Amino acid sequence: LSDRLVETFKNLRTKGRLSASDVDGTVREIRRALLDADVALQVVKDFTAKVRERALSDEVNKALNPAQQVVQIVNEELVEILGGTQRKLQFAKVAPTVIMLAGLQGSGKTTFAGKLAKKLQGEGHTPILVAADLQRPNAVNQLQVVAEQAGAAIYAPEPGNGVGDPVKVSKAGVEFARQKQHDVVIIDTAGRLGVDEELMKQASKIRKATDPDEVLFVIDSMIGQDAVNTAKAFQDGVDFTGVVLSKLDGDARGGAALSVASVTGRPIIFASNGETLDALEDFHPDRMASRILDLGDILTLIEQAQSAFDEEEARKVAEKLAKEAFTLEDFLEQMQQLKKMGSMKKMLGMLPGMGGQMKQQLENFDESEIGRTEAIIRGMTPAERNNTKILNGSRRARIARGSGVSVTEVNQLVNRFEQAAKMMKKVARGENAGIPGMGAM
Ligand code: GDP
Ligand code: MG
């Protein structure tokens, strides 16, 4: 998806104005790209029709830079379908808040239950997990493990009692929570491998019996074209108040997100992106839009870069990045520039190709550390800044003393810098030439 779109937008960018045929060509490409990302056909059709209409409007033709506007339109429409602004979890006025999970088997419900419990726990809530998946022998055990990891309480039927009734267990679980003053109840339900009448009935009964404040539909974002049918089936069978996209750490481009949001009109609330319980994020429509385009907000980046960077300097940096001659000295200089540009994280997040692991690294990058980072680099001699390889133990200890941080922090910075230099080199050599674009545009 990304390559094709980047190519398309690159073509647009070289022209000053848009003709109808330009727009049609672009729209065709967007359509293909979205289908490649497994967005459902009907959703793609509606989407491209809207984009085309807006792109051909006067507003665009009179604009200074039509290409930028088309990018913006595509982005805006994506964000719109994905729910506009971010929606928060709804809590009950009178505790406990009941949150019921629904979704196919393997979609990530139990894992998400643990993630949510952990998150809520961290926010000062006292969640309890209710084991209402009595379908698979191991499901209760799995929830027990997850609850323990999350440090949350659990309500489960006595083991060895044969098959219990998930509706009764759910109801009793909510009652138990009320008595023990747990302020949030998370009901983990059973799923089947496919959409199934029995399953829907059961989920629907649990819903009626517990009157949840939120019913969250958990869907595997790698599900592809099935997203629409599955989501519709759950909407008709149980209905849900919000969506959790799971396994976003995989290769999924987010086509499922667009399809589900568009077809059900329900907001996506969380993005689950890993097997560990920390791997949970609030869902941000704008970020997902960029992910679907996997374009990063290239034009914005370029604009900001141009206002902050002197072109000549940007070109020099780009060359250095590509040659791996990028040093801590440059890093320090860049940091001054980046401050002008807004946050570093934001800038890096706008580069294309920043998926998966790279994104994770970015998330770990704390902006507030920039100040300390600066102090550490300033504590180094020019020779050290130009070649981190000479930083032996005693030099590191000296730097730590001089800049008032621990040796560990110095080590961390050096490691991170070396990783970043490697990463930037990759980006700089990448198809879209990443940062070099800043000088070349
Ligand atoms: P359930 O049947 O809906 O309860 O699904 P589970 O929570 O048991 O998850 C099914 C499998 O997907 C498990 O192996 C999980 O470890 C894995 N899983 C769940 N969520 C995620 C996620 O966000 N990312 C990744 N990579 N794996 C996940
Ligand atoms: Mg489960």
DSSP string, 66-85: HHHHHHHHHHHHHHHHTTSS
**Is 238 in contact with 202 (CB distance < 8 Å)?**
no
| The last residue of a domain, from among 81, 109, 133 | 81
CA 421 / ligand 1 centre spacing (Å): 33
Q: Which residues of 97-133 are buried (b: 16+ CB within 10 A; e: fewer)?
A: bbbbbbbbbebbbbbbbbbbbbbbbeeebbbbbbbbb
Q: Which CATH number do you get for residue 55? A: 1.20.120.140
Residues surrounding ion ligand 2 at CB below 5 Å: 109-110
Euclidean distance between CA atoms 188 and 206, whole angstroms: 11
Q: Looking at residue 72, what is its pLDDT?
A: 72
pTM summary value: 0.66
Q: Residue 434 gets which letter from DSSP? A: T
Question: Measured between alpha carbons, how far is 3 from 59 in angstroms, rounded to an integer?
Answer: 28
ipTM surpassing 0.95? yes
Is residue 110 domain-shared with residue 236, that is, in the same domain?
A: yes
| DSSP, res 326 | -
Query: Domain of 367?
Result: 298-440
Q: Where is pLDDT greater, at 360 or 279? A: 279
Please tell me the distance from the alpha carbon of residue 40 to that of residue 260, in angstroms, as a whole number: 9
Mutation probe of ligand 1 site: the residue of 133, 221, 222, 275 with most atoms within 8 A of C-beta: 275
Q: Which two tokens stand for residue 134?
A: 């009595």
Task: Verify that 160 and 238 share a domain, yes or no.
Answer: yes
The CATH number linked to 180 is 3.40.50.300
Rounded (5°) CA angle 340-286-110: 120
CATH of the domain at 405: 1.10.260.30
Helix (H, G, I), strand (E, B) or coil at 308: helix
Closest ligand 1 atom, residue 248 Cα: 23
Which ligand is located closest to the Cα atom of residue 115?
1
Question: Which atom of ligand 1 is nearest the CA belonging to 188?
Answer: 4
Give the C-alpha separation, 83 to 301, whole Å.
24
Domain membership flag for residue 89? no
**Residues 12, 157 share a domain:** no
Q: Are residues 30 and 142 in the same domain?
A: no
Instruction: Give 38 or 307, the one with higher predicted confidence.
Output: 38
Distance (Å) from CA 109 to ligand 2 centroid: 5
128 phi, psi to nearest 5 deg: -130, 140
Residue pointed to by tokens 């629904």: 102
How far apart CA 17 and CA 67 sit, in angstroms, is: 7
Place of tokens 């089936």: 233
184 and 209 belong to one structural domain: yes
305-358 pLDDT tens trace: 444 445 556 566 666 666 666 678 777 776 666 555 445 555 555 555 545 555
Residue range 369-394, pLDDT digits in tens = 667 788 888 888 888 888 888 999 99
- The dihedrals phi and psi of 148, each to the nearest 5 degrees, come to -65, -45
Across the range 212-238, mean pLDDT stands at 93
Tell which of 25, 57, 81 closes a domain.
81
Could you tell me if residue 115 is inside a domain?
A: yes
DSSP class per residue in 200-249: HHHHHHHHHHH--SEEEEEEETT-TTHHHHHHHHHHHHT--SEEEEE-TT
Give the number of other Cβ atoms within 10 Å of residue 57's Cβ: 12
Q: Compute the mean pLDDT over every residue in the chain, rounded to the nearest whole number.
A: 79
Question: Is 292 among the domain residues?
Answer: no
Parallel, antiparallel or unpaired: strands 153-155 and 242-246? unpaired
What is the number of the ligand 1 atom nearest to the C-alpha of 105? 2
Torsion sign, CA atoms 160, 162, 167, 171? negative
Q: pLDDT confidence of 151, banded at 50, 70, 90?
A: very high
249-266: pLDDT as tens digits = 876 667 888 899 999 999
CB distance 350 to 287 below 8 Å: no
Reported confidence tier of residue 98, pLDDT bands at 50, 70, 90: very high
- pLDDT for 69: 66
From the CA of 189, how far away is ligand 2's center (Å)? 7
In a domain, 293, yes or no: no
